[in-house]
Amino acid sequence: MNPAGGPQDILIQIAPLVLLFVLFYFMLIRPQQKRAKDHQAMVAALKRGDSVVLSSGVIGKVVRVEDAEVGVEVAQGVTVKVVKAMITEVRAKGTPVSANDKG
């Protein structure tokens, strides 16, 4: 027995750390990067007339698109400026309304 340990002992000690990093990459880092890329593409494709959901849950219609901000109409005649990154979802124009919403 070699009391100092050999290259195999070092490899056995490092292997679980490498395996853990690979697991974290495929389970956490890679999906987060994909979500961020999809969100950037969605925000870049915003256009006037799109129905959007903000991170606060407010639903509105895009009336103006600028570089970093978007004008969102949340009620008739009420427009708010929103940072593009705060838009969580772009809904299709034909999204059906629930039965209790009249008009």
81-94: pLDDT as tens digits: 999 999 999 997 64
Mean pLDDT of 52-76: 95
The pLDDT of residue 4 is 62
Mean pLDDT of 25-50: 93
Distances (CA, A) of 13 to 18, 19, 20, 26, 73: 10, 11, 12, 22, 59
Q: Where is average pLDDT lowest: 37-41, 72-76, 96-100?
A: 96-100
Contact 48, 64 (CB under 8 A): yes
**Beta-carbon count within 10 A of 51 CB:** 16
**Above 70 in pLDDT, residue 5?**
no
Q: What percent of the chain has pLDDT over 90?
A: 75
